[in-house]
Amino acid sequence: MTGAMDELEARARAQLGHLADFGDRLAALSVRESSSDGLVTAEVDGSGALTGLWLEEGASDLGEVRLGEQIVATALLGAQRAFAARAALTEEFTAVFAEQLESR
């Protein structure tokens, strides 16, 4: 009976470790995207929230409307990349977790 319990505990620890690693990787997810002209760089986290914004010299020459549009468009591209990375991490987690469950 002890061997079966040890095996169950080891599997549970492995699954919890994998879940913790997944959470850490999601929390650390960050993407930087730059506009095609390089004047705007946006950084977003794994949930698509803007966490950083850099404007190069000459960005103000675009005018307030165009600059605003470029900031939003650049941040949106970054968010799309972040969501793609998040989806890839989730698929990887799901596959490994399913393998752990099947190995019982």
Name the DSSP class of 48. Answer: -
Quick: pLDDT tens for 43-90: 999 999 999 999 999 999 999 999 999 999 999 999 999 999 999 999
Q: What is the CA radius of gyration of the chain?
A: 21
| Predicted confidence (pLDDT) at residue 103 exceeds the cutoff of 90 | no
Q: Distance between CA 26 and CA 39 in Å, rounded?
A: 28
Find the CATH number of the domain harbouring 83.
3.30.1310.10
- Written as one letter, the residue type at 66 is R
Please list, in sequence order, all residues whose beta carbon lies within 8 angstroms of the beta carbon of residue 73, skipping any fewer than 6 positions away: 35
Q: Where are the alpha helices (DSSP H) in 1-104?
A: 2-28, 64-102
- Are 30 and 18 in contact by the 8 Å Cβ rule? The answer is no
Structural domain boundaries, residue 11: 2-103
Quick: pLDDT tens for 1-25: 688 888 888 888 888 888 899 999 9
- Write down the pTM of the prediction: 0.82
Number of domains in the chain: 1
